[in-house]
Amino acid sequence: MTSKLDQLKAMTVVVADTGDLEAIKTYRPVDCTTNPSLVLKAVELPAYQDVIENAIAWGRKQGGTKDAIAAHVADRLAVAFGAEMSKLVPGRISTEVDADLSFDVEGSVKRARDIIAAYDALGVPREKILVKLASTWEGIRAAAILQKEGIDCNLTLLFSLAQAVACADAGVFLISPFVGRILDWHVKASGKTFEPEEDPGVLSVRQIYSYYKQHGINTVVMGASFRSTGEIEALAGCDRLTIAPALLEKLAADNGTLVRKLDPANTGEKIATVAADEKSFRWAMNEDQMATEKLSEGIRLFAKDLRALRTLIAKRLEAGVPA
């Protein structure tokens, strides 16, 4: 019997949710996705030390304030990490627009264009890149502009059908609903434990998947932020799943039978059309306490890790020692 990981790969595109090159080599995902938290962790990995030292050396030659240089080096690192990953996977690399631009349409578009240009300078074509944006109304509007320019987007921090529908209406290439963070909120709010088949995060992704398939929407659904292999198995058959190395390892070690749970030919009861205009979006988010709180929290956490990365870089630039 093949492992559950191999069985999953036969029905779902498996994406590595990591900045660890060795993990990518081990589990051979199709795509890789990163965020500021993962980039911050990757700074400590031995495999990236040459990349980091090169970025720091480049930063020392730049003009401007210390904070501005640190920000530029952080941007350069995210792309440099992605370029290294692109050598290991046949598919896409997701790179995040700064979290502090989550409510800035023009700023997000400019940053996304800069990301694409930076990759191009390293010989990585835009066809290999997904630009990640938070699923705020402004992030979705920025994605609509970018998609028309041929820059494919991954809308992250997604917790509701309203966000998913707005993303589809904007022509977004891919969405990343956060399974585990939805579960976290419901566990804290209710004090209950949930089995995979009743897991609120799993049920949310299943609803979004069914809605997309029923309404002929081509936007890719990629479940993210998993707390257990049970959640992953409950979404077997989803378009894509981005999975952390620890859970990939557990799936690779399990030779049990994996049952397909999501199938475009069997999406259950018809889901009514959801409006995608700004007024409807904002009202739906206002009425969804979980989605509103987790979106806000996620932006704050990514912004915090981005600031931490910039601070770390600033200190190393100032110290004049290798990263």
Query: Which residues are catalytically annotated?
Result: 132
**Could you tell me the CA-to-CA distances from 286 to 104, 283, 289 in Å, in that order?**
20, 5, 7
59, 69 contact by CB (below 8 A): yes
- DSSP-H helix ranges across 170-277: 179-190, 200-214, 229-233, 245-253
Q: Which element (helix H / strand E) includes 109?
A: helix 105-121
Which of these, 118, 102, 95, lies nearest to 39 by C-alpha position?
95
Block residue for tokens 């990301």: 115
Distance from C-alpha of 8 to C-alpha of 241, rounded to nearest angstrom: 9
208, 164 contact by CB (below 8 A): yes
Q: Residue 19 forms beta bridges with which residues?
A: none
Q: Which element (helix H / strand E) includes 14?
A: strand 13-17
Q: Which two tokens stand for residue 303?
A: 């912004």
313, 59 contact by CB (below 8 A): yes
Provide DSSP, 32-99.
EE--HHHHHHHTT-GGGHHHHHHHHHHHHT--S-HHHHHHHHHHHHHHHHHHHHHTT-SS-EEEEPPG
Distance from C-alpha of 100 to C-alpha of 299, rounded to nearest angstrom: 8
Q: Residue 83 forms beta bridges with which residues?
A: none
